[in-house]
Amino acid sequence: MGFVLPRYHVPDFAKPPLWDAPLVEFAEVAQAGVAPPDYHATTIHPEYLQIRQGCWVLLKESRMDAVVVLQPDGMLDVREIRRLQVGDRVACGRGEHGENGIYVHTEAFGEPQGSRDKFAFRTRLTRETAFSIDYDELYELLEYERTNGFILWVLGPAAVFDHDSRQALVEIIRRGYMHGLLAGNALAAHDIEGSLFGTALGQELYSKRPVPLGHYQHLDAINQIRALGGIQEAIAAGVVRDGVMHAVAQNRIPFVLAGSIRDDGPLPEVIVDTEQAQDRMRQLARRATTAIALATQLHSIATGNMLPSYQVPGNDQARPVYFYVVDMSEFAVDKLANRGSLSSRSILTNVQDFLVTLERGLSKRCQWGVAEK
């Protein structure tokens, strides 16, 4: 049957509490980077603002913990507080049910809750949770999103520490299941180390055997790329001939490498300014309809903070944004949920097994003619 997007349920503005709701109020910014008192902070859910009587506007390209600015042309812009300028008009009101002209739509896609017993086993996500159906649903989702959406991957370095998972990820990229990449210096550095030396952090990718002076090899990899001017230059020179970053570059996939205080080097493409890195990440997050975060707690949380639970693809009909978090640590996935990323779905396994299983499942479906057209 294939994947079908769930239907979006538009609020009934002709019924209480919305039919007689007031207009939203806006207050001017008096100091750059400082929101006015009683500002409204956005959530991950679809939100409507009544800017004229009976005119409820759905926010587009929203994110958590931002504010809403009324632009001179009457359009609404969701913006980080640090980017506010003097004179910007910011939506105010902490009410979310229409009492301030703002409505947060928490049941937009009408997912059935079903009946639930007061007592039941295995209701909490743990390593013992079964994930077979999650993989099958992800196969169908990725087939749909490959041609109808924007698949954003958020990768930690563990994705390239293993020979098979690195190759699986390259195949996933080659088949068109990646449209954007968010990562840090480590993912790119160790992937390039794998291309140059066949190691990751000095261990052979397949056998895991440490090589002599292996602790130098990620530094040597960074050093060589810096000498050539960057990753693209190294690929053009034939120095980097395979791997994830090679596949990303060859398929012209946009990527953002956000820096860390811990970084070695870093690689020339790494953005070391935190605000600039966040802005660049947000550019890709705005486009995401599905995000898959693998074994990187901080980058996963950062992306989760930028992703709403919905996307407005060009009309006023919203669709859900799917967010998968893959980690072998229960703490990591719980941490993301506790940060407010309520739309995240978790698979508890190591990233190497996940990537190999995912690529194998997608490949089989292609062989059966499910995905290929």
pTM: 0.92
Q: Tell me which amino acid residue 109 is.
A: F
Domains and their CATH numbers in the chain: 25-104 (2.40.420.10), 132-367 (3.40.50.10690)
> For 20, which DSSP code?
T
Q: Tell me which amino acid residue 240 is.
A: V
Q: In the predicted model, what is the mean pLDDT of residues 317-345?
A: 79
Residue 125's pLDDT band (cuts 50, 70, 90) = low
Q: Which residues contact 281 (CB under 8 A, 6 or more apart)?
A: 182, 256, 258, 302, 303, 306
Cα dihedral across residues 8, 12, 17, 23: positive or negative? positive
- Residue recorded with tokens 């929203």: 62
- Where are the extended beta strands (E) located within 71-164? 76-79, 89-92, 102-104, 151-155
Question: In the β-sheet with 255-258, what is the strand arrangement from edge to edge?
Answer: 255-258, 180-184, 151-155, 290-294, 322-327, 344-348
Rounded CA separation 368/307 (Å): 34
Phi, psi of 219 (to 5 degrees): -70, -40
Q: In the predicted model, what is the mean pLDDT of residues 135-147?
A: 96
Task: Assess contact for 44 and 343: CB atoms under 8 A.
Answer: yes
What would the pLDDT profile of 176-208 be if each residue is shown by its tens digit?
999 999 999 999 999 999 999 999 999 999 999
